[in-house]
Amino acid sequence: MNSSFISFFELGFDHILNIKALDHLLYIMALTAVFTIKDWKKVLWLITAFTIGHSISLFCSALDVFSLPIAFVEFSIPFTILITAIFNVVQMNKVKHSVFNFPYIMALFFGFIHGMAFAGDIKHMLGSDSIFTAVFGFNIGIELAQFIVVVIILGLGYLLQSKLHLSAKMWNIILSSLAGLYAIKMIIETL
């Protein structure tokens, strides 16, 4: 396997599971909060939509097609978390029973915004590496790490709901509130 692909794969994997990437972890938590373990296919599609959006922004930036000012991106990312958390609480049943509509479009668009935060970095790290190899490896690493986070969140939700009889609605409110409150803190810090 290509060593460049492996390097960027590891970078993407570490990017998600790194505590410094708390914005990604919070977004995945908010994105997953409304679902139960039975909804794992829907969650997989949602995180894949997020990764596709992420990929598009990385390609656009690396190829000098489109980029956003980093200050705007860093200010916008906590809003993606907050909007998702609020949407979960207000529209819980609609989110769970949707197929390819607003939640997927929202995840795709928010993935684009999150990707812009790393786009400048990946562009500088390319060197002689192929943009396609780099972005593909990076995003496969991201997708696998997100899958691990989703499994942990859905698994914990399953345990709390089946063993402690915590309702799915309360689990959603707890996770969404935690993500939303931390997002507010992040928004204040960017001001």
Residues 86-141 have pLDDT tens digits of 998 887 666 555 554 778 889 999 999 998 887 767 766 766 667 788 888 888 99
Which is nearest to 182 in space by CA: 35, 73, 22, 74? 22
Confidence band, pLDDT 50/70/90 cuts, at residue 58? confident
Kindly tell me if the per-residue pLDDT of 15 is higher than 60: yes
Give the pLDDT band (50/70/90) at residue 22.
confident
Contact 95, 34 (CB under 8 A): yes
SS3 99: coil
Confidence band of 143 (pLDDT split at 50, 70, 90): very high
pLDDT, position 3: 77
H/E run at residue 102: helix 102-125
Number of domains forming the structure of the chain: 1
pLDDT at 185: 95
More confident residue, 89 or 64: 89
pLDDT at residue 182 above 90? Answer: yes
Confidence at residue 78, expressed as pLDDT on a 0 to 100 scale: 95
Tell me what pLDDT residue 91 has.
Answer: 78
pLDDT tier, 183 (very low <50, low <70, confident <90, very high otherwise): very high
State both tokens at 1: 């396997």
> CB under 8 Å to 149, separation ≥6 — which residues?
16, 17, 25, 28, 29, 32
Question: Does residue 124 or residue 169 have the better pLDDT?
Answer: 169
Comparing 15-24, 61-70, 120-129, the range with the smallest average pLDDT is 120-129
Helix (H) or strand (E) holding 116, with range, is helix 102-125
Domain that holds residue 180: 3-190
